[in-house]
Amino acid sequence: MTKQTSRVHPSGLGGTLPSGTRRRIRIATLAAMFSLFALYLAWHEAHDIRIDRDDAPFATSALAENATGGNGDGSGDNLTVLPPAAAVSSSDLVKRGEYLARAGDCVACHTADKSRPFAGGLPINTPFGTIYTPNITPDPDTGIGQWSDSDFMRAMHEGVGKSGERLYPAFPYTEYTRVTDQDVLAIRAYLNTLAPIHYTPPRNELRFPFNLRWLMGIWNLFNFTEGRFVPDPKQSAQWNRGAYLVQGLAHCEECHTPRNLLQGLKTSDRFSGAVQAGWHAFNITPDRNSGIGSWSQDDIERYLSTGAVAGRANAAGPMGQVVEDSTQYLTGEDLQSIAIYLRSVPPVAGGEQRPRDQYGAPAADVTTLRGTEVTGVNGAQLFSGNCASCHNWTGAGVGASAPGAYPSLIHNSVTGANDASNLTMVILHGVERKTKDADVMMPSFADELTDDQIAAIANYVTKQFGNPGSTVTVDEVAKLRATKQ
Protein backbone atom coordinates (compact mmCIF):
# COMPACT_ATOMS: atom_id res chain seq x y z
CA MET A 1 0.00 0.00 0.00
CA THR A 2 1.34 3.39 -0.97
CA LYS A 3 1.17 6.13 1.63
CA GLN A 4 -0.56 9.23 0.25
CA THR A 5 0.78 12.64 1.32
CA SER A 6 -1.95 15.08 2.31
CA ARG A 7 -1.66 18.62 0.99
CA VAL A 8 -3.70 21.63 2.08
CA HIS A 9 -5.67 23.34 -0.67
CA PRO A 10 -4.88 27.05 -1.20
CA SER A 11 -8.43 27.86 -0.14
CA GLY A 12 -7.56 26.63 3.32
CA LEU A 13 -10.45 24.15 3.24
CA GLY A 14 -8.26 21.09 2.99
CA GLY A 15 -8.11 18.46 0.27
CA THR A 16 -5.45 17.20 -2.13
CA LEU A 17 -4.39 19.06 -5.27
CA PRO A 18 -3.92 17.11 -8.49
CA SER A 19 -0.26 16.82 -9.55
CA GLY A 20 -0.85 18.88 -12.71
CA THR A 21 -2.36 21.72 -10.68
CA ARG A 22 0.52 21.65 -8.19
CA ARG A 23 3.02 21.82 -11.06
CA ARG A 24 1.23 24.82 -12.63
CA ILE A 25 1.21 26.60 -9.25
CA ARG A 26 4.95 26.06 -8.80
CA ILE A 27 5.66 27.35 -12.33
CA ALA A 28 3.43 30.38 -11.77
CA THR A 29 5.14 31.11 -8.44
CA LEU A 30 8.61 30.92 -9.96
CA ALA A 31 7.48 33.14 -12.86
CA ALA A 32 6.07 35.69 -10.42
CA MET A 33 9.29 35.70 -8.38
CA PHE A 34 11.40 36.18 -11.51
CA SER A 35 9.09 38.98 -12.72
CA LEU A 36 9.34 40.77 -9.39
CA PHE A 37 13.13 40.51 -9.51
CA ALA A 38 13.17 41.79 -13.10
CA LEU A 39 10.98 44.71 -12.07
CA TYR A 40 13.40 45.46 -9.23
CA LEU A 41 16.34 45.49 -11.63
CA ALA A 42 14.44 47.75 -14.02
CA TRP A 43 13.56 50.13 -11.19
CA HIS A 44 17.18 50.12 -9.99
CA GLU A 45 18.50 50.94 -13.44
CA ALA A 46 15.87 53.67 -13.93
CA HIS A 47 16.74 55.35 -10.65
CA ASP A 48 20.51 54.88 -10.81
CA ILE A 49 21.46 58.22 -12.33
CA ARG A 50 24.90 58.18 -13.95
CA ILE A 51 26.97 60.96 -15.46
CA ASP A 52 28.87 60.25 -18.65
CA ARG A 53 32.39 60.76 -17.39
CA ASP A 54 34.25 60.27 -20.66
CA ASP A 55 35.26 63.92 -20.85
CA ALA A 56 34.32 65.06 -17.35
CA PRO A 57 36.99 66.56 -15.13
CA PHE A 58 38.04 64.81 -11.96
CA ALA A 59 35.98 65.66 -8.93
CA THR A 60 38.18 67.02 -6.18
CA SER A 61 38.71 64.51 -3.41
CA ALA A 62 38.87 65.04 0.32
CA LEU A 63 41.20 62.08 0.39
CA ALA A 64 44.16 63.07 -1.76
CA GLU A 65 47.38 61.13 -1.84
CA ASN A 66 49.20 64.21 -0.61
CA ALA A 67 47.04 64.74 2.49
CA THR A 68 48.86 67.08 4.87
CA GLY A 69 47.31 65.91 8.10
CA GLY A 70 44.74 67.09 10.60
CA ASN A 71 44.42 70.31 12.47
CA GLY A 72 46.10 68.97 15.55
CA ASP A 73 43.05 67.54 17.27
CA GLY A 74 42.71 64.48 15.06
CA SER A 75 39.78 65.88 13.11
CA GLY A 76 41.63 65.75 9.78
CA ASP A 77 40.14 69.00 8.47
CA ASN A 78 43.25 70.22 6.64
CA LEU A 79 43.38 67.86 3.66
CA THR A 80 45.11 68.82 0.44
CA VAL A 81 42.91 68.06 -2.55
CA LEU A 82 44.20 67.14 -5.96
CA PRO A 83 43.77 69.63 -8.80
CA PRO A 84 41.13 69.00 -11.49
CA ALA A 85 42.08 67.01 -14.57
CA ALA A 86 42.84 70.09 -16.61
CA ALA A 87 45.68 70.96 -14.24
CA VAL A 88 47.22 67.48 -14.29
CA SER A 89 49.59 66.65 -17.13
CA SER A 90 49.03 63.39 -18.96
CA SER A 91 52.41 62.05 -17.85
CA ASP A 92 51.63 62.84 -14.21
CA LEU A 93 48.22 61.22 -14.56
CA VAL A 94 49.71 58.04 -16.02
CA LYS A 95 52.40 57.95 -13.35
CA ARG A 96 49.75 58.30 -10.65
CA GLY A 97 47.65 55.60 -12.32
CA GLU A 98 50.61 53.23 -12.35
CA TYR A 99 51.11 53.79 -8.62
CA LEU A 100 47.43 53.17 -7.92
CA ALA A 101 47.41 50.04 -10.09
CA ARG A 102 50.33 48.81 -7.98
CA ALA A 103 48.34 49.54 -4.83
CA GLY A 104 45.44 47.55 -6.27
CA ASP A 105 47.80 44.72 -7.33
CA CYS A 106 46.05 44.53 -10.71
CA VAL A 107 48.92 42.67 -12.34
CA ALA A 108 48.67 39.70 -9.95
CA CYS A 109 45.20 38.61 -11.02
CA HIS A 110 45.34 39.76 -14.62
CA THR A 111 48.58 38.00 -15.53
CA ALA A 112 48.73 34.26 -16.13
CA ASP A 113 51.84 34.39 -18.29
CA LYS A 114 54.52 36.95 -17.39
CA SER A 115 55.24 37.41 -21.09
CA ARG A 116 51.64 38.70 -21.39
CA PRO A 117 51.25 41.15 -18.48
CA PHE A 118 47.66 42.29 -17.82
CA ALA A 119 46.33 40.02 -20.60
CA GLY A 120 44.39 37.87 -18.12
CA GLY A 121 43.78 34.15 -18.26
CA LEU A 122 44.68 33.44 -14.63
CA PRO A 123 42.41 30.70 -13.22
CA ILE A 124 40.72 31.60 -9.93
CA ASN A 125 39.26 28.56 -8.25
CA THR A 126 36.03 29.08 -6.32
CA PRO A 127 33.56 26.68 -4.64
CA PHE A 128 31.34 27.21 -7.70
CA GLY A 129 33.91 26.54 -10.42
CA THR A 130 36.84 28.27 -12.11
CA ILE A 131 36.86 31.89 -13.23
CA TYR A 132 39.48 33.11 -15.71
CA THR A 133 40.53 36.74 -15.38
CA PRO A 134 39.94 39.04 -18.36
CA ASN A 135 42.39 40.85 -20.58
CA ILE A 136 42.68 44.49 -19.43
CA THR A 137 45.24 45.66 -21.98
CA PRO A 138 43.98 48.25 -24.50
CA ASP A 139 43.59 45.66 -27.27
CA PRO A 140 40.36 46.67 -29.06
CA ASP A 141 39.17 43.11 -29.75
CA THR A 142 40.16 41.03 -26.73
CA GLY A 143 40.89 43.69 -24.10
CA ILE A 144 39.32 46.95 -22.96
CA GLY A 145 40.47 49.11 -25.88
CA GLN A 146 36.90 49.94 -26.87
CA TRP A 147 35.71 50.64 -23.33
CA SER A 148 34.78 54.21 -22.52
CA ASP A 149 35.80 55.80 -19.26
CA SER A 150 32.19 55.38 -18.12
CA ASP A 151 32.36 51.65 -18.90
CA PHE A 152 35.53 51.32 -16.86
CA MET A 153 34.10 53.39 -14.02
CA ARG A 154 30.94 51.28 -13.90
CA ALA A 155 32.95 48.05 -13.76
CA MET A 156 35.09 49.33 -10.90
CA HIS A 157 32.27 50.92 -8.93
CA GLU A 158 29.27 48.71 -9.69
CA GLY A 159 30.58 45.39 -10.96
CA VAL A 160 28.93 45.76 -14.38
CA GLY A 161 30.78 45.14 -17.65
CA LYS A 162 30.70 47.06 -20.93
CA SER A 163 27.72 45.14 -22.29
CA GLY A 164 25.75 45.39 -19.06
CA GLU A 165 26.77 41.95 -17.86
CA ARG A 166 27.17 41.38 -14.12
CA LEU A 167 30.79 40.75 -13.14
CA TYR A 168 31.69 38.00 -10.70
CA PRO A 169 33.00 39.16 -7.30
CA ALA A 170 36.31 37.38 -7.87
CA PHE A 171 36.92 40.86 -9.27
CA PRO A 172 36.78 42.84 -6.02
CA TYR A 173 34.39 45.59 -7.11
CA THR A 174 32.88 45.24 -3.64
CA GLU A 175 36.02 47.07 -2.43
CA TYR A 176 36.86 49.05 -5.55
CA THR A 177 33.49 50.79 -5.30
CA ARG A 178 35.06 52.93 -2.55
CA VAL A 179 37.81 54.28 -4.84
CA THR A 180 37.37 57.91 -5.90
CA ASP A 181 36.42 58.74 -9.48
CA GLN A 182 39.72 60.51 -10.10
CA ASP A 183 41.74 57.52 -8.92
CA VAL A 184 39.75 55.14 -11.12
CA LEU A 185 40.30 57.38 -14.13
CA ALA A 186 44.02 57.63 -13.34
CA ILE A 187 44.24 53.82 -13.37
CA ARG A 188 42.41 53.78 -16.69
CA ALA A 189 44.87 56.35 -18.08
CA TYR A 190 47.75 54.09 -17.08
CA LEU A 191 46.16 50.95 -18.56
CA ASN A 192 45.70 52.83 -21.83
CA THR A 193 49.49 53.17 -22.10
CA LEU A 194 50.12 49.42 -21.89
CA ALA A 195 51.09 47.45 -24.97
CA PRO A 196 47.88 45.96 -26.46
CA ILE A 197 48.00 42.18 -26.30
CA HIS A 198 45.66 40.22 -28.56
CA TYR A 199 44.71 37.32 -26.32
CA THR A 200 41.37 35.82 -25.38
CA PRO A 201 41.40 34.09 -21.97
CA PRO A 202 39.58 30.75 -21.58
CA ARG A 203 35.87 30.76 -20.86
CA ASN A 204 34.78 30.46 -17.24
CA GLU A 205 34.01 26.96 -16.01
CA LEU A 206 31.16 27.54 -13.57
CA ARG A 207 28.49 25.01 -12.66
CA PHE A 208 24.81 25.74 -13.25
CA PRO A 209 23.22 27.94 -11.98
CA PHE A 210 26.35 29.91 -11.02
CA ASN A 211 27.10 30.49 -14.70
CA LEU A 212 24.03 32.75 -14.90
CA ARG A 213 25.45 36.22 -14.47
CA TRP A 214 22.09 37.86 -13.69
CA LEU A 215 22.13 35.98 -10.38
CA MET A 216 24.89 38.34 -9.28
CA GLY A 217 22.16 40.95 -8.95
CA ILE A 218 20.67 38.86 -6.15
CA TRP A 219 24.13 38.26 -4.65
CA ASN A 220 24.74 42.00 -4.63
CA LEU A 221 21.56 42.60 -2.60
CA PHE A 222 23.11 40.71 0.30
CA ASN A 223 26.84 41.31 -0.16
CA PHE A 224 27.46 44.64 -1.90
CA THR A 225 26.92 48.28 -1.04
CA GLU A 226 27.82 50.65 -3.86
CA GLY A 227 29.40 53.96 -2.89
CA ARG A 228 32.63 55.90 -2.53
CA PHE A 229 34.74 56.07 0.63
CA VAL A 230 33.64 58.75 3.05
CA PRO A 231 36.39 60.08 5.35
CA ASP A 232 35.70 59.97 9.07
CA PRO A 233 35.96 63.58 10.32
CA LYS A 234 36.82 62.31 13.80
CA GLN A 235 39.98 60.63 12.52
CA SER A 236 43.27 62.03 11.24
CA ALA A 237 44.14 62.38 7.57
CA GLN A 238 46.62 59.51 7.90
CA TRP A 239 44.00 57.21 9.42
CA ASN A 240 41.58 58.08 6.64
CA ARG A 241 44.23 57.48 3.99
CA GLY A 242 44.96 54.06 5.51
CA ALA A 243 41.27 53.19 5.67
CA TYR A 244 40.83 54.29 2.05
CA LEU A 245 43.64 52.03 0.87
CA VAL A 246 42.84 49.00 3.03
CA GLN A 247 39.10 49.10 2.37
CA GLY A 248 39.47 50.06 -1.29
CA LEU A 249 42.33 49.49 -3.72
CA ALA A 250 44.39 47.18 -1.49
CA HIS A 251 41.22 45.08 -0.87
CA CYS A 252 42.81 43.40 2.16
CA GLU A 253 39.51 41.92 3.29
CA GLU A 254 39.29 39.73 0.19
CA CYS A 255 41.87 37.40 1.72
CA HIS A 256 41.85 38.24 5.43
CA THR A 257 38.08 38.16 6.12
CA PRO A 258 36.15 34.87 6.31
CA ARG A 259 33.24 34.32 3.94
CA ASN A 260 29.59 33.50 4.41
CA LEU A 261 27.53 30.80 2.71
CA LEU A 262 27.22 32.88 -0.46
CA GLN A 263 30.97 33.61 -0.46
CA GLY A 264 30.40 37.20 0.54
CA LEU A 265 32.55 38.71 3.28
CA LYS A 266 31.51 38.11 6.90
CA THR A 267 31.65 41.70 8.03
CA SER A 268 31.19 40.67 11.67
CA ASP A 269 34.67 39.08 11.57
CA ARG A 270 36.56 41.61 9.49
CA PHE A 271 40.29 40.90 9.09
CA SER A 272 40.11 37.87 11.42
CA GLY A 273 41.69 35.51 8.88
CA ALA A 274 40.54 33.09 6.18
CA VAL A 275 41.81 30.26 3.98
CA GLN A 276 42.60 30.90 0.32
CA ALA A 277 43.69 28.03 -1.97
CA GLY A 278 45.11 26.11 0.99
CA TRP A 279 46.95 29.12 2.44
CA HIS A 280 45.82 30.65 5.72
CA ALA A 281 45.63 34.45 5.46
CA PHE A 282 46.19 35.21 9.12
CA ASN A 283 44.27 37.43 11.50
CA ILE A 284 45.50 41.01 11.02
CA THR A 285 43.39 42.65 13.73
CA PRO A 286 45.22 44.09 16.78
CA ASP A 287 44.37 41.10 18.99
CA ARG A 288 47.60 40.36 20.89
CA ASN A 289 47.42 36.57 20.61
CA SER A 290 45.52 35.80 17.42
CA GLY A 291 46.40 38.91 15.43
CA ILE A 292 49.15 41.50 15.13
CA GLY A 293 48.54 43.32 18.40
CA SER A 294 52.10 42.70 19.55
CA TRP A 295 53.54 44.09 16.28
CA SER A 296 54.85 47.64 16.30
CA GLN A 297 53.89 50.08 13.59
CA ASP A 298 57.42 49.75 12.21
CA ASP A 299 56.99 45.94 12.07
CA ILE A 300 53.89 46.29 9.90
CA GLU A 301 55.50 48.80 7.58
CA ARG A 302 58.66 46.69 7.21
CA TYR A 303 56.67 43.54 6.52
CA LEU A 304 54.67 45.23 3.78
CA SER A 305 57.74 46.79 2.19
CA THR A 306 60.15 43.82 2.41
CA GLY A 307 58.06 40.75 3.23
CA ALA A 308 60.16 39.94 6.30
CA VAL A 309 60.36 40.95 9.95
CA ALA A 310 63.04 39.10 11.88
CA GLY A 311 61.61 37.23 14.83
CA ARG A 312 58.07 37.55 13.54
CA ALA A 313 57.17 36.60 9.99
CA ASN A 314 58.28 36.01 6.41
CA ALA A 315 55.82 36.42 3.54
CA ALA A 316 55.19 33.37 1.35
CA GLY A 317 52.48 32.15 -0.99
CA PRO A 318 49.89 34.73 -2.07
CA MET A 319 51.11 37.26 0.51
CA GLY A 320 54.64 36.98 -0.84
CA GLN A 321 53.27 37.86 -4.26
CA VAL A 322 51.35 40.82 -2.81
CA VAL A 323 54.60 42.18 -1.36
CA GLU A 324 56.50 41.56 -4.59
CA ASP A 325 53.91 43.05 -6.96
CA SER A 326 52.25 45.67 -4.80
CA THR A 327 53.08 46.78 -1.27
CA GLN A 328 56.85 47.14 -1.70
CA TYR A 329 56.12 49.96 -4.16
CA LEU A 330 53.95 52.00 -1.79
CA THR A 331 55.35 55.20 -0.35
CA GLY A 332 56.48 55.32 3.26
CA GLU A 333 53.57 57.64 4.01
CA ASP A 334 51.02 55.18 2.61
CA LEU A 335 52.59 52.24 4.46
CA GLN A 336 52.46 54.24 7.66
CA SER A 337 48.82 55.11 7.03
CA ILE A 338 47.93 51.45 6.47
CA ALA A 339 49.67 50.47 9.71
CA ILE A 340 47.86 53.21 11.63
CA TYR A 341 44.50 52.05 10.32
CA LEU A 342 45.09 48.31 10.90
CA ARG A 343 46.16 48.96 14.48
CA SER A 344 42.82 50.72 15.06
CA VAL A 345 40.33 48.11 13.82
CA PRO A 346 38.40 46.09 16.42
CA PRO A 347 40.49 43.13 17.66
CA VAL A 348 39.07 39.68 16.97
CA ALA A 349 40.19 36.79 19.18
CA GLY A 350 40.79 33.47 17.49
CA GLY A 351 41.37 31.22 20.48
CA GLU A 352 45.18 31.26 20.51
CA GLN A 353 46.76 31.24 23.95
CA ARG A 354 49.88 33.16 22.93
CA PRO A 355 51.18 35.04 19.88
CA ARG A 356 52.25 32.85 16.97
CA ASP A 357 55.77 34.28 17.00
CA GLN A 358 56.46 33.40 20.65
CA TYR A 359 57.08 29.68 20.28
CA GLY A 360 60.13 27.49 19.89
CA ALA A 361 63.58 26.62 21.14
CA PRO A 362 66.83 25.55 19.39
CA ALA A 363 67.19 21.87 18.56
CA ALA A 364 70.02 19.49 19.43
CA ASP A 365 68.88 16.52 17.37
CA VAL A 366 71.95 16.38 15.12
CA THR A 367 74.02 15.31 18.10
CA THR A 368 71.37 12.81 19.15
CA LEU A 369 71.18 11.29 15.65
CA ARG A 370 74.92 10.57 15.45
CA GLY A 371 75.58 6.87 15.57
CA THR A 372 71.88 6.12 15.81
CA GLU A 373 70.22 3.80 13.34
CA VAL A 374 67.11 5.51 12.04
CA THR A 375 64.28 3.38 10.74
CA GLY A 376 61.06 4.49 9.09
CA VAL A 377 60.14 8.09 8.39
CA ASN A 378 61.93 10.28 10.92
CA GLY A 379 61.19 14.01 11.02
CA ALA A 380 64.46 14.98 12.68
CA GLN A 381 66.51 13.08 10.13
CA LEU A 382 64.52 14.49 7.22
CA PHE A 383 64.91 18.01 8.59
CA SER A 384 68.65 17.55 8.97
CA GLY A 385 68.97 16.26 5.41
CA ASN A 386 66.65 18.71 3.64
CA CYS A 387 66.31 21.87 5.70
CA ALA A 388 69.29 22.33 8.04
CA SER A 389 71.70 23.61 5.37
CA CYS A 390 69.64 26.82 5.14
CA HIS A 391 67.79 27.04 8.44
CA ASN A 392 70.65 25.63 10.56
CA TRP A 393 70.30 22.34 12.40
CA THR A 394 69.32 24.34 15.48
CA GLY A 395 66.47 25.99 13.53
CA ALA A 396 67.91 29.46 14.21
CA GLY A 397 68.40 30.32 10.53
CA VAL A 398 71.42 31.79 8.79
CA GLY A 399 72.10 35.47 8.23
CA ALA A 400 70.25 36.94 11.21
CA SER A 401 68.12 39.89 10.07
CA ALA A 402 69.94 40.59 6.78
CA PRO A 403 67.58 41.08 3.78
CA GLY A 404 68.60 37.79 2.18
CA ALA A 405 68.80 35.80 5.41
CA TYR A 406 67.47 32.27 5.73
CA PRO A 407 64.81 32.83 8.38
CA SER A 408 64.79 31.37 11.84
CA LEU A 409 62.07 28.81 12.47
CA ILE A 410 62.05 29.88 16.11
CA HIS A 411 59.77 32.85 16.86
CA ASN A 412 58.20 32.47 13.44
CA SER A 413 54.49 33.09 12.89
CA VAL A 414 54.18 30.19 10.44
CA THR A 415 55.68 27.52 12.70
CA GLY A 416 53.78 28.94 15.69
CA ALA A 417 50.36 28.92 14.02
CA ASN A 418 47.65 26.72 15.47
CA ASP A 419 47.45 24.80 12.19
CA ALA A 420 50.32 23.63 10.02
CA SER A 421 48.78 24.36 6.63
CA ASN A 422 51.03 27.30 5.69
CA LEU A 423 54.15 25.46 6.84
CA THR A 424 53.10 22.46 4.76
CA MET A 425 52.38 24.66 1.73
CA VAL A 426 55.81 26.28 2.04
CA ILE A 427 57.48 22.86 2.08
CA LEU A 428 55.39 21.76 -0.91
CA HIS A 429 55.66 24.88 -3.06
CA GLY A 430 58.69 26.73 -1.75
CA VAL A 431 59.04 30.51 -1.57
CA GLU A 432 59.84 32.99 -4.32
CA ARG A 433 59.76 36.66 -3.37
CA LYS A 434 61.74 39.38 -5.12
CA THR A 435 61.86 42.84 -3.58
CA LYS A 436 64.11 45.88 -3.80
CA ASP A 437 66.04 44.50 -0.81
CA ALA A 438 66.47 40.82 -1.64
CA ASP A 439 65.69 37.96 -3.99
CA VAL A 440 64.34 35.29 -1.65
CA MET A 441 64.06 31.70 -2.85
CA MET A 442 63.29 28.42 -1.12
CA PRO A 443 62.99 25.33 -3.35
CA SER A 444 59.81 23.33 -3.64
CA PHE A 445 59.95 19.82 -2.20
CA ALA A 446 56.70 18.60 -3.77
CA ASP A 447 58.60 16.49 -6.31
CA GLU A 448 61.32 15.43 -3.88
CA LEU A 449 59.39 14.22 -0.82
CA THR A 450 56.36 12.02 -0.32
CA ASP A 451 53.30 13.06 1.64
CA ASP A 452 54.36 11.09 4.72
CA GLN A 453 57.85 12.63 4.58
CA ILE A 454 56.45 16.16 4.33
CA ALA A 455 54.06 15.44 7.21
CA ALA A 456 56.98 14.15 9.29
CA ILE A 457 59.08 17.29 8.64
CA ALA A 458 56.18 19.64 9.33
CA ASN A 459 55.30 17.90 12.59
CA TYR A 460 58.92 17.89 13.70
CA VAL A 461 59.24 21.62 12.95
CA THR A 462 56.05 22.58 14.80
CA LYS A 463 56.93 20.39 17.80
CA GLN A 464 60.51 21.63 18.10
CA PHE A 465 60.45 25.19 16.78
CA GLY A 466 56.81 26.19 16.86
CA ASN A 467 53.42 25.35 18.29
CA PRO A 468 53.59 21.75 19.58
CA GLY A 469 49.80 21.49 19.41
CA SER A 470 49.83 21.99 15.65
CA THR A 471 50.06 18.82 13.56
CA VAL A 472 49.29 17.72 10.03
CA THR A 473 48.27 14.26 8.81
CA VAL A 474 49.41 12.50 5.65
CA ASP A 475 45.89 12.84 4.23
CA GLU A 476 45.91 16.59 4.91
CA VAL A 477 49.25 16.92 3.10
CA ALA A 478 47.77 15.06 0.13
CA LYS A 479 44.77 17.40 0.11
CA LEU A 480 46.97 20.49 0.25
CA ARG A 481 49.19 19.08 -2.51
CA ALA A 482 46.11 18.66 -4.72
CA THR A 483 44.83 22.20 -4.08
CA LYS A 484 45.07 24.26 -7.24
CA GLN A 485 47.26 27.33 -6.95
> Where in the chain are the domains?
51-235, 360-482
Share of the chain above pLDDT 70, in %: 82
Please report, for residues 72, 378, 379, 395, 447, the alpha-carbon distance to residue 383 in angstroms, rounded to integers and kept in the order given: 55, 9, 6, 10, 16
Give bridge partners of residue 177 from the DSSP assignment: none
- At 375 the pLDDT is 77
Angle between helices 421-429 and 451-465 (to 10 degrees): 130
Whether 406 and 391 have beta carbons less than 8 Å apart is answered as: yes
What stretch of H or E contains 100? helix 90-103
- At 366 the pLDDT is 81
360-482: CATH topology: Cytochrome Bc1 Complex; Chain D, domain 2 (1.10.760)
Does this model's pTM top 0.85? no
Q: How far apart are the first and last CA of the chain?
A: 55
**Contact residues for 174 (Cβ-Cβ < 8 A; gap 6+):** 159, 223, 224, 264, 265
- At 37 the pLDDT is 46
Whether 57 and 84 have beta carbons less than 8 Å apart is answered as: yes
Q: What is the pLDDT along the chain (485 residues), one digit of tens a residue?
A: 333 333 333 333 333 444 454 455 454 444 444 444 444 444 444 444 333 333 332 333 333 333 333 333 333 333 333 444 444 568 999 999 999 999 999 999 999 999 999 999 999 998 899 999 999 999 999 999 999 999 999 999 999 999 999 999 999 999 999 999 999 999 999 999 999 999 999 999 999 999 999 999 999 999 999 999 999 999 999 999 999 999 999 999 999 999 998 889 998 999 999 999 999 999 999 999 999 999 999 999 999 999 999 999 999 999 999 999 999 999 999 999 999 999 999 999 988 989 999 999 999 888 778 777 777 899 999 999 999 999 999 999 998 788 888 999 999 999 999 999 999 999 999 999 999 989 999 999 999 999 999 999 999 999 999 999 999 999 999 999 999 88
